[in-house]
Amino acid sequence: MATRRRRAPASTPAAPIAPTAPASAAPSPTPIPAVPDTDAVLTPTNSPAPLPVSVSQAKAAYFNRELSWLAFNRRVLEQAQNPRHPILERVKFLAIVSSNLDEFFEIRVAGLIQQVDNNVQESDGADVIGPREQLRRIHSVVASLVDDQYRCWQDQLIPALATEGITFALPASLTPGELAWVHTYFEEQVFPVLTPLSIDQSHPFPQLGNKTLNIVVSLDDPTTPELDRHFAILPVPRVLPRIVSIDSSESEKHQRRFIFLSDIIKLCAADFFPGYHIHGAHAFRVTRNSDLYIDEEEAANLLKKIEEELRNLRRGAAVRLEIEDGVDDQIFSTLCDHLSLSHEYVFRLDGPVNLVRVMALGDIDRPDLKYPNFLPVNLSPLREPGLIFDTLRERDILLHHPYDSFQPVVDFVEQAARDPQVLAIKQTLYRTSGDSPFVRALIEASRNGKQVTALVELKARFDEANNIQWARQLEEAGVHVVYGLVGHKTHCKVALVVRREAYGKLRRYAHLGTGNYNPRTARIYTDLSHFTSREALTSDAANLFNALTGFGRAPEFTHLLVAPYSLHRRVLELIRRETDHAQAGRPARILAKMNSLVDQEVIDALYGASRAGVQIDLIIRGVCCLVPGVPGLSENIRVRSIVGRFLEHIRAFYFHNDGGEPGIYAGSADWMPRNFFRRIEVVYPLLDPALRRWVMDELFAIELQDNECARLLTSGGAYLRPTRAPEVPVFSAQNYFLAAAAQRARAAEL
């Protein structure tokens, strides 16, 4: 896995971004320029040229989901390699690459290994690549990706940081003063915390936690040189900072010098083994299977069962070993044997283990090395909390986060908790922040005597422990806590308020979103928040909560598209309606923005629409299993991915419907089997004419103009920068929305 591989070509640096005025309408679709595809990251399972015209026969016309995800992580790495980003932001992108890979191995690779262990031969995806072949391709791609990631760190980021006075010391480069400071730091802060664990016949191999830092030490006793070499492991607790700022008398003003904790421990490892000779010390890290396995129908108490599983996760089967390059073969084999891990799952790293930790450099107080500070604009009609319900009786409101402040979403629930006319609040909680204002508001509402119901998703991956904590706090305050439907994650983002109004009439108000109820991530995720008091939507929202908290095998929804009940069927119907229009010679158009496109039936329906002449533009940040631009199959489909400062998280959809009302929707669901069939999802129509125009004339139109952060997916699987004529300026959609928000803020101050 450590073999150097040919890298994908680097992106061409672009000129400074110059925001332009928004387009008045969605631009006409233009074909993706033909670009030689000589270094594709993905490939269809067969050559795309001879694909049959019949969609039912085109079983090879799908990209593999796992390889497509790795291609997305490659696009994240491109941001770290891009010198146009501020240096500390580039470091952050590099850390995100590692964080993404951690989750990928914990869940996706772990699942494939289990399939191989269970002798599963066939793929469970639209492609025909079996799990064993998927693992082979994954490891080849990951090896290249990791190799490029560490080359970026060593050859690009470290030198760029050094020019700004931020340097990293290796043990051999420490000055005498720095060396003295490091030894003192070790003796005072590290030595008392660490416990050496020897490995021999009387000491079994220790249980190493998932993704924890460890130092393996090779040593021998000088008095018995004829005996085999000894090994010991130093597990490093998470309480110790992984990057240490050197504070010696030699430190220069305005200079920051750091050293990795692993280097400090290796330098001072002999202190743990007096009388022994140290041959070598190397940092390593084990990634384990972290997927929860819970049979909800067999679990009498879901909350307790998940708590038990969380305790077991740290002991899950090893799926990856990362270790510093240069480790000798004996240590390497010993670790692999004890972890029952094949050598193909081992990555020898040319640099520090776990680059996630370089995210801590973002705490350095150097605003000149970060993106310009941006404060979300709170200029919506909902900015006066006391007038929220009065405003929503008159009109619908749509906010575009993070450009529009998330505060009105918080105010909506907090105001409902305090308003004496509010009788009931119902809300879903999938992921929320550590100090959640929503949880506090629901607790306050319950103590104020309101009927409060919270649907807390205990199985929100990697947030299980937080959600258990929130569930208990809410229950203790008298909130009715429900965990949703058996076998389905409650992923939708819905809050419903029931209020008594004039003459005793009850009126419902709803917030429907594409993102989580999390003020922290709302500053870095692009999402939509829709507020409404329309009976057509709020009555459907009420039916949804009734189905989730009570019994309802087939609840009916008039306007909301709800998974697992109607969403998949309606999406197919909307695509086929456009297909029918195109076949009849009428204009037909589909625009869709989402995180992932995986579902085979939907992909096949899009292929059919393309063959009929429907013009289709897909903005898909991450996984895309559809192959665009194939003659006779998908030549009318264009796919782009936007990766930039903010995480593109919006799911929005447009269906032209010539001669009728266009269908414009937003919601929580990607087009994946899990979203259609194994989650509770809500996709809602935008019914207000002004909001519908904004989605078309701003959201879609602007993002389709992006030629800076966007990459176009080719039929061969490569993601390439859009070509542009010399007279066309470089344009970033995210920068446009940032500039537009800043302009609104300035105008409001005048």
What's the token pair of residue 152? 């970026």
Contact, 313 vs 287, CB < 8 A?
Answer: no
DSSP string, 351-414: S-S-GGGGGGGGGSS-GGGSPPP---B--STT-SGGGHHHHHHH--EEEEETTB-SHHHHHHHH
User: Which residues lie below 8 Å from residue 526, measured CB to CB, with a gap of 6+?
Assistant: 400, 401, 402, 646, 647, 648, 649, 650, 734
What's the token pair of residue 275? 């009388």
State the sign of the Cα–Cα–Cα–Cα dihedral 56, 59, 65, 67.
negative
User: Which run of H or of E encompasses 70?
Assistant: helix 65-81
CA distance 246 to 174: 10
User: Which run of H or of E encompasses 347?
Assistant: strand 346-349
What's the token pair of residue 236? 């490093």
Q: At 588, is the secondary structure helix, strand, or coil?
A: coil
Report the DSSP pairing between strands 679-685 and 480-482: unpaired
Say whether the peptide bond before residue 402 is cis (omega within 30 degrees of 0): yes
CA distance 351 to 91: 14
Phi-psi map region of 472: left, alpha, beta (phi>0 left; psi -120 to 50 alpha): alpha
DSSP string, 297-318: TT-SSHHHHHHHHHHHHTTSPE
Cβ burial of 394 (10 Å; 0-12, 13-18, 19+) is exposed
What's the token pair of residue 79? 């941001």
Candidate list 139, 491, 581, 656, residue with the active-site label: 491
**Distance from the Cα of residue 70 to its chain's centroid:** 13
User: Which run of H or of E encompasses 677?
Assistant: helix 673-677
CA distance 230 to 707: 57
Would you tell me how many other CB atoms lie within 10 Å of the CB of residue 410?
Answer: 19
Contact, 243 vs 253, CB < 8 A?
Answer: no
Contact, 563 vs 667, CB < 8 A?
Answer: no
Q: At 680, is the secondary structure helix, strand, or coil?
A: strand
User: Which residues lie below 8 Å from residue 349, measured CB to CB, with a gap of 6+?
Assistant: 146, 150, 322, 323, 324, 325
Q: Is residue 491 annotated as part of the catalytic site, yes or no?
A: yes
Q: Which residues make beta-bridge pairs with 235?
A: 214
Contact, 412 vs 383, CB < 8 A?
Answer: no
User: Which residues lie below 8 Å from residue 642, measured CB to CB, with a gap of 6+?
Assistant: 619, 621, 648, 703, 706, 709, 710, 711, 733, 734
CA distance 241 to 250: 22
Contact, 429 vs 460, CB < 8 A?
Answer: no
- The full length of the chain comes to 750
Instruction: Point out the residues that are catalytic.
Output: 491
